[in-house]
Homo-oligomer: A and B are copies of this chain.
Amino acid sequence: MARTRGSHSDITGPRVERAALELFARDGYAAVSMRRIAAEVGVQAGALYNYTPDKQTLLFSLMKSHMQDLLAAYDAWEAPDDPLGRLEAFARFHIRFNSERPAAVFISYMELRNLDPEHFAEIEALRRRYEGALVDILRDGAATGVFDVDDPRITAFAMIGMLTQLNTWFRRGGRLSLAEVEELYWSMLRRLVAA
């Protein structure tokens, strides 16, 4: 006795976001039409506008939610006080968090160019806060002599490039488990800063 019409706002909203997330990640924001998102959810295109004022805002809110989740989860992540422990915590956090939501990660750096300038600036500010956390760790470690780092900023970029690239090839059920990958990456990061 499935209702085909009526009120579903509590359930349709999340389904719209989920469908948009997956489709944007797979085919790209510009290539996905509102009709296709609606079809995925099982409603007509017009109904989507109960949940977003327009397509661009839908993209923006997906990216903003992702970045806020990322920062909140990182803030809540347990980490020791010493730079090496904090670096390890950052690495393991980044790998686990990103591996759990590949679509959102992918969108959040692939679709930046589809944001208008104000939205872009807002997302970039959140991203910089996250990257800044890693820069701080490297700076502290370099200052206390625990790390040997030529340029904390560049090293942080390189590390994030390394870690984020993981999402392009890692698949659950492949040759390596996530735990194994985590160890491999942590061992590489440690080498990068070893004094």
**A interface residues (Cβ-Cβ under 8 A, vs B):** 26-31, 110, 113-114, 150-151, 154-155, 157-166, 168-169, 176, 181, 184-185, 187-188, 191-192, 194
Question: Chain A interface mostly helix, strand, loop or mixed?
Answer: helix
A28 to B29, CA, bound (A): 10
Flag if A155 contacts B113 (CB, 8 Å).
Answer: no
Chain B residues with Cβ below 8 Å from A187 are: 150
Question: Would you give 20 A-B contacts (Cβ < 8 Å), ordered by A?
Answer: A26-B113, A27-B113, A28-B114, A29-B30, A30-B30, A110-B110, A150-B184, A154-B176, A154-B185, A158-B165, A160-B165, A161-B161, A161-B162, A161-B164, A161-B168, A162-B162, A162-B165, A165-B165, A191-B191, A191-B194
Chain B residues with Cβ below 8 Å from A154 are: 176, 181, 184-185
